[in-house]
Amino acid sequence: MTEFGKSLSFTETTIPGLLIAELPVHGDSRGWFKENWQREKMVAAGLPDFGPVQNNISFNDEIGTTRGIHAEPWDKWVSVATGRIFGAWVDLREGPTFGAVFTAEIDPSRAIFVPRGVGNSYQTLESDTAYAYLVNDHWSADAEYSFLNLADETAAIQWPIPLSEVEISAKDLAHPRLADVTPIPPKKTLIVGANGQLGLALRDLFGDSPRYDYAGRDSIDLADPAFLSSRRWRDYDTIVNAAAYTAVDLAETPDGREDAWASNVTGVAALARVAAAHGITLVHVSSDYVFDGTKDGAYVEDDALRPLGVYGQTKAAGDAIVSTVPRHYILRTSWVIGEGKNFVSTMASLAERGIDPKVVDDQVGRLTFTDDIARAVSHLLGAGAAYGVYNVTGSGEPLSWADVARRVYALVGSDPSRVTGVSTEDYFASATTPIAPRPRNSTLDLTKLGATGYVTEDVVDGLERYLARG
């Protein structure tokens, strides 16, 4: 008997992510009505915004019709329009809850959200039962599925009607026992720009687990229209965009301007389209160059963008594009230091060769080490931090480039007074090629990131650690 008058609510079960829903059903002498799927109300009440794309109905004539146990690589919203079922769900995902079982009766006043990789099965308890389910992906022969035998002794499901007395398909009877089931792997993360400074740091942090795909410029072409269908995107939950055009001065030339816009805007737009279409979280790394550097004090995340040069303009355009993706993180960085040639390694080399450099002293900010950015990416994703923009730089007192150079000289055992500070104008006075305008103040406020529980490394400590690696 369908229960009328419930309030909409969701309850966690013993299987992570499997949610039982109580649905309001309104009835009178004519029959009843319910909102079987109402995105706005249900998401507000605690249902994941899983983005269904297909609605299926399975009609069952007889009591005891039994189907499953099937685990697919998509989420389901299961309910009944008429009749009643005994449902059984088994966690077939990789992880500590593999093999966990949950059972419940479902009638029109109750539904269940079944996350990707949880095996779904049911037995009808009334004739003429209409079993309905929404899914957030289309069936594909290339998808990875798992199945479990309905009579598996480990799961030990207590079916109301013995399996020997019910209608079961030959295919379901042939499914493997739990010991022989191939678990559904977690969704994957694609790291774009995997051979760059940040990409290498992300690889060092995440390792070579099959959960992570690393794509360099030689293996991915964001400008190719085929990119949009180049992978089974529903198998991914995250894309980290560590790729960018960063030649700030070259970007001021005609060819450089074209390349900067192609990489930092057109390429980002391709990633954003994929992420938005498939419910993927897009992590994008931005820059202090989206600001003009005239603010008195540190920039916060919602300060107005006022880029000075072509590079900054392309990064600001990329930020605007990424902000339209429902699930996004934009990480604003400054003065990035990682593997390979960079300002710190150059200063260390000059010190060791006995060279006394002139270094700009009217641009102020903080260094950001790529391993710190990588850890921040991992933290924000793992903590489920609110989507949006986060400043991610080293912590501590802001320094000028000349200050940083003097710190490097001191740390490698050279006299820091050998570094001479000069203005930006004097430093570039003899340049014969276009020079991009630089923000004089690149200091980014770290309060928002700190509120998530992540504190970046002090710049001076990071310098010492970086140089100690040799």
Per-residue pLDDT of the chain (470 residues; tens, 9 = 90+): 567 778 999 999 999 999 999 999 988 878 889 999 999 999 999 999 998 999 999 999 999 999 989 999 899 999 999 999 999 999 999 999 999 999 999 999 999 999 999 999 999 999 999 999 999 988 877 778 899 999 999 999 999 999 999 988 999 999 999 999 989 999 999 999 999 999 999 999 999 999 999 998 888 888 888 888 888 898 999 999 999 999 999 999 999 999 999 999 999 999 999 999 999 999 999 999 999 999 999 999 999 999 999 999 999 999 999 999 999 999 999 999 998 889 999 999 999 999 999 999 999 999 999 999 999 999 999 999 999 999 999 999 999 999 999 999 999 999 999 999 999 999 999 988 999 999 999 999 999 999 999 999 999 999 999 999 86
For residue 213, CA distances in Å to 79, 122, 142, 405 come to 36, 36, 18, 37
Q: Are residues 126 and 216 in the same domain?
A: no
In a domain, 4, yes or no: no
Query: Would you say the pTM of this structure is higher than 0.85?
Result: yes
Q: 420-422 and 358-360: which strand pairing?
A: parallel
Spacing of C-alpha 263 from chain mean position: 20
Q: In whole angstroms, what is the distance from residue 447 CA to residue 87 CA?
A: 47
- Same structural domain for residues 199 and 334? yes
Give catalytic status of residue 26 as yes or no.
no
pLDDT at 173: 92
From 122, 131, 133, 289, the catalytic residue: 133
The answer as to whether 370 is a domain residue is yes
* CATH at 171: 2.60.120.10
- Domain boundary pick from 151, 180, 209: 180
Q: Could you tell me if residue 331 is inside a domain? A: yes
Count: domains in the chain: 2
pLDDT attached to residue 470 = 67
Token representation of residue 366: 């903080």
Q: Which of 167, 259, 185 is nearest to 222 (CA)?
A: 259
Answer yes or no: is 310 within a domain. yes
| Structural element, H or E, at residue 380 | helix 370-383
Residues 248 and 130 in one domain: no
Residue 311: which domain range? 188-468
Residue 348 confidence (pLDDT) = 96
Tell me the sheet residues that pair with 57. Answer: 132
Please say whether the beta carbons of 392 and 364 come within 8 A.
Answer: no
The C-alpha atoms of residue 376 and residue 283 are separated, in whole angstroms, by 11
Assign residue 377 a region: left if phi > 0, alpha if psi is -120 to 50, beta otherwise? alpha
154 and 231 belong to one structural domain: no
Q: What are φ and ψ of residue 442, in 5° steps?
A: -110, 15
Identify the sign of the CA torsion 343, 345, 347, 353: negative
Give the pLDDT confidence score for residue 87 in this predicted structure.
97
Whether 70 is catalytic is yes
